[in-house]
Structure 1
Amino acid sequence: MALSKKGKTTLRILAGVFAGFFILFSVVIGIALGATYNLEGLNDFNESEAALPTQIYDRNGRLITEFFSDEKRELISIEEMPRHLIYAVITREDQDFFQHKGVSITGTTRAAIGYLTNNFAGGGSTLTQQLATMLYLDKSDVSVSRKLQEIWIALQLERNWSKNEILEEYLNKSWFGHNTYGVEAASKFFFGHSAREVTIAESMMLALQLSSTNKYSPLKNPNLARERQKEMLDEMVVQGYATQEEVEASFDEFWRNYDYTRSGTTTAFFERQDKAPYFSEHVRYLLENEILLGSADIYRDGYKVYTTLDLDYQDAAREYLQVGIQSANETYDRNISSRARFATEVFVPAIDLLSLGFNVDQLRVAGEKQLQNAKTYFRDNITPMIDMLTLLSENSNDGGLRDITWTAYQQKENLEKQTTVQGALISLENETGHVLSMIGGNKFEQTNQLNRALQARVQPGSSFKPLYYSAAIEKEVITPATMIYDSPVVFWNDDGTPYTPTNYKGEWEGPVLARYALAKSMNVPSLRILNRLGFDDAISITSDLLGIPEREQVSRGLVRKYPIGLGVISVSPIMMAQAFATFPNEGREVTPVFIRYVEDRSGRIVAEPERNLREEQARQGRELQIISPQTAYIMTEMLQTTVQEGTLRYPRSLVGGFGDMPIAGKTGTTQNWSALWTVGFSPYYTTAVWIGFDEGNNSMGVNQTGAITAGPIWARYMKEVHRDLEPRTYNRPANGLIELEVTNRNGLLPPAGYNGATYTEIFREGTEPREFDTSEEFQRQVASEGRTKLDQSISQGGVELSTIGGSSLSDSGISLDLDLELSLDLDGTGDGQGGSNGEESGAGNDGDGDSLSNPFFDDSFSLEGPGGSSDVIPPEGGNSDEGGNPYLD
């Protein structure tokens, strides 16, 4: 039942009396409590200890970013604040601020009436009381005792501080939502500029956050915030703090320039200044989950974290990776447009013509194409406008259109993951494992925080090959000069399934040396090496290099099947960098390090993760030696060939070479050209670059490979970070290695009087060749006797090819293709022609006929035509060799 006018008056009187007695009672109780209650810093304005953010530094002591959670705070003096900002806060929070002495009779009476009538209409705390609770009390404690303390402290604040000091402390300590504390931090978060520059409308929007950060957030509820902002601006006019014209002009300007695209869930933490966001986010994870445990609070305790990052290297990585990703996306878009244009102009009309001619409605595609175009136009152009309109509607959070736009956004996001090229780059110091730079994607945003450098599970393609090459050298299965045949072959997996690999462009080069096969990224020779090595040793050593524990081998695809030889496994860029860094680190395991040590706010070291790692490594000792120093050195030599003459020759030339700095590396392109790699190192650093899609297996196009797309990014970065470093050589073991001159043709010792090309190769002692290359002498004999036999056969009217010189053709490894031109190669140089069988043909193979050109045997002709007949290779150890040189396949 509604109260009469007389009843309401009586209630107000009673409430006023109640409020008066309550205040008086609070003073009395406060005096009693004051004898024991410690108001620390009450007489020292602005001396209360504020929460401090944790600061993250690079290896040169430069600030990367700060970590804060609920207190992103920056201080600003009252003199620097615009008058209309002060007036907006007074209008919204405490219109009697300059009249009361810390407690408002009016406000307390209003609160009492609301309490008595169960019709709460706002709190009765003054701005000073709010500050008292903020500084000294627990706001979550809703009790009479806490209220009594609040009133007493507010009275003491008014006694000791001026009104301006109270305002300054209040505005610098208050919570404004979205992880911002203080008006300066809030202004920068909401408006992108200092509180010194806020307009009247912006001032009122900030004032609204003081009472209800969720309800009146312009990012979460722009409609409610707009409505309430207008009401309070009009109240400013009533109070005489602004004119109607001023508030209307400012209000219109505010919403005319308002950004509706900002997410309502964004916070100052995600929009903080961060020079290396992917790196610092991982540092935050390590601090919270591995290093600073227990009661440590990295958002308030003011730690100083000294990391391994180099901001100069980080800037170079960001620049070159972003340019490379942009170029890859542009090329991909052109490729897609070309395919779409062919489909639209040629394929679709042809199919529709067939459907009309033969009256087959199921073949009709034009209508489906138009429908798909309409869906795309709606998703990309109409959805954003509908979403903006829903924000302005009264029921913006209800279903209907909001659900439609949300679904469209999800579809677009999923599509982008399959059609937008992403990338990652990570760089390590070989000896220490220090992570010097790390970029986990194109841009670090709230919707793009996947750190692909650490978290991606992608196939490495041919960049995986050096890992089991090193295992084969370690197990003395091959040497860099081992002859391998590049020809069609069928491998049989343990489960009885066949695996038939092919080379790039389907070309075959015949017999090649292992060094050449790796430099040119040839598939079949690499798989022949894997077959000779065996799966057990290949999986064991490559897992150790990659840092994959045994329990994860199967889930990452490291199983006993031949596709692993072409990189059909799951890795991340940091794992590839870690593996390759083992080679210049003399075969020792490399553990990535992000944090060197941590100090508390007093400068005392509280954590030393790097020191702990070094102590653990010292305890492990020889267990860290994954491959021998001799094998590691041989791999650095072989991978330098890839840069000089192989698939990385193009990127090296693009940057003008690396001067006297020896650089080694390997490219990789996965099946269907869906992921591109370059991983390489110097005596100082190892860097891995990955380019690909987050989801799906779309092709980026045959014109994008590891050498053409990822290679230039890697080469430009490596050139930049080595610019001011003194050239250094790789550490060569003092013993256990031997260098010999071998023939280009088959990697054997050149006999006396040998006229063919030779080069100096390096071997582990005991694996060097001991046989002489007799192919030159044999070819002369074959050529001489072959011509004689042919002349005789032709003159007699027939051709007898069963024997030449008393030797069977099959026994000598000779077959003739009568459709081919018979030619001799007595100098052993090869013709220097023929494309690369690696996946990067055209990028690294220039066919210049140098000392590493394909050493074709002139006796490798075939009656079946180019390529010869196929071999069939059984599982592990099914080697057709019987006796002879164990390093000649």
Structure 2
Amino acid sequence: MASRTKVKRIEPSFGGASTGDELSVSAEDRVVRPAKQKSRSAGKGAKGRGGRASRLRGGLFGWFGKAVYWSLVLGLWGGIAAAGLVVFYAARMPSATTWEVPDRAPNVKIVAVDGMLIANRGANGGEAVGLHEMSPFIPMAVVAIEDRRFYDHFGVDPIGLARAFVQNVLEGRVAQGGSTLTQQLAKNLFLKPERTIERKVQEVMLALWLERQHSKEEILELYLNRVYFGSGSYGVEAASRRFFGVSARNVTLSQAAVLAGLLKAPSRLSPARDPEAAEERAQVVLAAMRDQGAIADTDLASAMSAPAARAAAYWTGSENYVADRVMDEVPDLIGEVGSDIIVETTVDQTLQHFAELSIRTLIDQNGAKNRVSQGALVSIDNSGAIRAMVGGHDYAKSQFDRASEARRQPGSAFKPFVFQAALEQGARPDSTRNDAPVAIGKWRPENYEGKYYGRVTLTDALAKSLNSVAAQLARDAGVDRVIEVAHRMGINSKLDRNASIALGTSDVTPLELTAAYVPYANGGFKADLHFIRRITNPAGEVLYEFKPKNTPRVVRPDIVGMMNAMMMRTVEAGTAKRAAFGWPAAGKTGTTQNARDAWFVGYTANLTTGVWFGNDDGQPMKNATGGSLATIAWHDFMAAAHEGLPPVPLPGVEFYRAQPKLDAIIGASAQKAVPLQAIEPAGFQRDEAENPATGAVRRPAVGVGESTASSKSILSIILGN
């Protein structure tokens, strides 16, 4: 067998002895050649100084370069992401061709009979005011503090954004906002108050669209008429009237600064909440206006010296009870309110002031002593127009309208309808009844403090408010008859069919009870109640106008005369003596069990006024009756309302008082009262000649200082005077 020859394996080597077959790399082949060897001493110095400096420079510039690099990369990707978000959120928005500025919520301007403003109601609470109409200080102040570059940017202000960003970083908090007025308007018009990226992107896009579609002046006008100024005030007109009691047309420089200052924090800076904070912010606004050349130094000094604006915590005026009632009635008259309207009411602002003063003063002075917290007053003229209405002690504390909504027992103030039912069935004011304890079934009514007077006339019984006699009359006339009379006169509430109705145990509102007394004042015609005379739009187009109805005569003239003579006695010498003020007046007091309600409803030939005092929770008052608080308030109001006017007699009183002479002339038999039911049904009107709508005998539509004198003319003719 042949022997194998052993072959030696050759391995590659680096750095050893060179052979032709070896794989090796020389120094010349390297990309970076090594530095030449230095002496040991020189090497140490380089290593100690240059080496450290080289590493420091390399590390610093290396880190900076990486930071710049990655910043550019991240910025690029961030821009791509932002663009993607914009595209994404833009795709979620409706097409720009469908965008339009939404209609401003309509305003309801409510004015008194003389044109004076009562209130503005609606979503904005103020009418729209053109930029050229409002005080020039308002737009100047708002632009100065909210968007100084408003007239220079295109809807979004990059400079303003950068400035706000720097300021916020320096202060470590959100000290400035970067939104322009156009962006704020876009947010208010189109978007919900959400703090999201989507909403911000949409805000910017809408702002750009607004700037393309509208001029700067139009954008600013839209903004000022819709922005929220706090305390329930939307728009500059509502805010001006809310805080200063003037129109935006008449706002001063200092007031404009307050308004502009509110935009930063409407609730916190409201003059109604913190007048000092509002004034401090206003001075910042004034300084900004001066710095931008909008006002001079003299203007600044003058405005800063003005006192801080002070506003009531809420609308406190009692006229707001009227405004609330009007807002309830408007939809029934013209349907849904789709644009600004002007509502002309029947309310007299002077009388409204007197009414509020009479209620508020008495409660402020006697509330604690008499344990009374609320009051209400309604005053109606002979046509049925409400001239004044107070629904409570203080509208700011309670907006519940006790005049038209609260149902309370009227007590003895209901008795006139009982006595009228008796007269219509043949009784006369001088008819007598025995005032003594009486039992009607299981019911035993008692007089006030248990006093009884024996044989008394109906006139004295009504003047002294004797429960025993009223119960007897209701029993004799019949409960159904009493209810029919009350409803015929103007009571709308359901009345309980029981004997105690004679003492006013069924609930009624002050408004309907007062209205039911109006036929006594106007000669026998039912009151055609109304608050609203006319509704127009700003252009003057009439949308609604009150037209008197064909109201029926509900009381015969002779019954009117007898009732007025009887109730005049109540004021002259009965429970309402404190009501007398120099005019011929009549009425009836009422006090319910345990003094839970105190009433007086009285009238002259011009006005019928009802007053109520009590507590919302029905708690008894202390030493408060219809003959005390209620008559005092009535007196104060009516005396002021009739000041300087010549007295006018009540209808039919002179005719009734001349009855004995007439009996002698004509014969007593011709003057006997005929039961109304026998010849005329409930709610009757005799013929067209007497119907107030036909003009022969007109329904009196009089206000303060006016009256009818038909009863006097008839008497003069009969007596030959």
Q: What is the TM-score of this pair, normalised by structure 1?
A: 0.54
Aligned residue among 416, 433, 440 for 1:466: 416
Aligned residue type for 1:426: V
Residue in structure 1 matched with residue 320 of structure 2 by the alignment: 277
Equivalent of residue 535 in structure 1, options 448, 460, 479: 479
Indicate conservation of the 8 Å contact 1:667/1:706, yes or no: yes
Query: Which residue in 2 is equivalent to 1:438?
Result: 389
Which residue pairs with 1:318 in the alignment? 356
| CA pair 180-195 structure 1, distance change in 2 beyond 3 A | farther
Alignment check: 8 A CA contact 1:426 1:573 kept: yes
Change (3 A) 1:584 1:525: same
Shift of the 23–547 alpha-carbon distance from structure 1 to 2, 3 Å rule, reads: same
Deviation at 1:466, TM superposition (A): 0.9
Query: Could you tell me how far apart the structure 2 residues matched to 1:725 and 1:761 are?
Result: 40
Percent identity between the two aligned chains: 26
Residues 1:89 and 2:146 are matched in the alignment: yes
Change (3 A) 1:321 1:50: same
When residues 715 and 19 of structure 1 are mapped into structure 2, their CA distance, relative to the original with a 3 A threshold, is same
Report the CA distance between 1:511 and its aligned residue. Answer: 1.0
Does 2:535 match 1:598? yes
2:76 matched to which residue of 1?
Answer: 13
Q: Hey, what does 1:454 align to over in structure 2?
A: 404
2:638 pairs with one of 718, 725, 734: 718
Q: Does 1:586 align with 2:508?
A: no
How far 1:181 moved relative to its partner?
A: 3.7
Aligned mate of 2:227, from 171, 174, 181: 174
Q: Report the Cα offset of residue 599 of structure 1.
A: 0.6
CA-to-aligned-CA distance 1:225-257 (integer Å, 9 cap, x gap) = x9xx99xx9xx99xx99xxxxxxxxxxx9xxx9
Question: 2: distance between equivalents of 1:762 and 1:218?
Answer: 77
Instruction: Decide which structure has the larger Cα Rg and report it.
Output: 2
Change (3 A) 1:707 1:173: closer
What residue identity is the alignment partner of 2:425? K
Per-residue displacement from partner, 1:712-761 (whole Å, max 9, x unpaired)? Answer: 2212322332334444344449999992389xxxxxx99xxxxxxxxx99
Q: Is the 8 A contact 2:120 2:238 kept in 1?
A: no
Residues 18-417 of structure 1: pairs in structure 2 closer than 5 A = 53-70=107-124, 72=126, 80=137, 86=143, 88-90=145-147, 100-104=153-157, 127=180, 129-130=182-183, 133=186, 138-139=190-191, 150-154=207-211, 161=216, 170-171=223-224, 173-182=226-235, 186=239, 196-197=253-254, 206-209=262-265, 271=315, 276-288=319-331, 290-294=332-336, 296-297=337-338, 301-332=339-370
SS in 2 for 1:59: coil
1:636 and 2:588 are equivalent in the alignment: no
Partner SS state of residue 444, structure 1:
coil
The 1:174–1:761 alpha-carbon spacing in structure 2 relative to 1, beyond 3 Å, is farther
Q: 1:150 Cα shift?
A: 4.1
Cα deviation digits, residues 413-451 of structure 1 (max 9, x gap): xxxxxx443111111112x10111111111211x31121
What CA distance in whole angstroms lies between the structure 2 residues aligned with 1:512 and 1:579?
26
Find the counterpart in structure 2 of residue 559 from structure 1: 497
Please give the TM-score of this superposition, normalised by the length of structure 2. Answer: 0.65
In structure 2, relative to structure 1, the CA distance for the partners of 1:104 and 1:56 (3 Å cut) is closer
Partner of 1:773: none
What does residue 615 of structure 2 align with? 693
Q: Give, as a single letter, the amino acid of the residue that structure 1 aligns with 2:471.
A: L
Match of 2:586 among 664, 677, 687: 664
Higher RCO (C-alpha under 8 Å, 6+ residues apart): 1
* Cα 1:4–1:99 shift into 2, 3 Å: farther
What is the root-mean-square deviation in Å for CA atoms of aligned residues?
5.3
What CA deviation, in whole Å up to 9, does each residue of 1:523-553 have, x standing for no partner?
212211112112121222223324225xx33
CA contact (8 A) 2:135 2:252 kept: no
Q: Which residue of 2 aligns with 1:365?
A: none
Structure 1 residue 153 displacement after superposition: 4.1
Counterpart secondary structure, 1:279: helix
Q: Is the 8 A contact 1:503 1:523 kept in 2?
A: yes
Cα pair distance change 1:82/1:145, threshold 3 Å: closer
Indicate if the aligned counterparts of 2:378 and 2:610 stay in contact, CA closer than 8 A.
Answer: yes
1:504/1:196 Cα in 2 relative to 1: closer, same or farther (>3 Å)? Answer: same
Partner of 2:374: 422
Structure 1 residues 142 and 583: alpha-carbon distance in aligned structure 2, compared to 1, 3 A threshold? same
- Equivalent pair of 1:183/1:195 in contact (CA under 8 Å): no
Distance in 2 of aligned mates of 1:527 and 1:453: 28
The equivalent position to 1:489 in structure 2, one of 438, 450, 467, is: 438
CA distance in structure 2 between the partners assigned to 1:678 and 1:467 by the alignment: 15
Q: Would you say the 8 A contact 2:599–2:626 is kept in 1?
A: yes
Equivalent-residue separation in structure 1 for 2:458 and 2:438 (angstroms):
17
Q: Specify the SS of the correspondent of 1:455.
A: coil
Structure 1 spans left out of the alignment, 5+ residues: 27-32, 41-47, 111-120, 242-252, 263-269, 333-418, 493-497, 619-623, 743-748, 751-759, 768-889
Letter in 2 for 1:670: T
The C-alpha deviation readout for 1:138-169, integer Å capped at 9, x for no partner, is: 44697999965642442576xx659xx97677
- The residue number in structure 1 matching 2:595 is 673
User: Does the residue aligned with 1:589 lie in a helix, a strand or coil?
Assistant: coil
Q: Which residue type is aligned with residue 632 of structure 2?
A: P
Q: Which residue pairs with 1:645 in the alignment?
A: 573
| 1:707 equivalent in alignment to 2:624 | no
Where does structure 2 lack aligned partners over 5 or more consecutive residues? 1-65, 90-94, 164-173, 193-197, 293-303, 676-721
- Aligned residues of 1:75 and 1:184 also touching (Cα < 8 A): no
2:540 and 2:158 map into 1 onto residues whose CA distance is 48
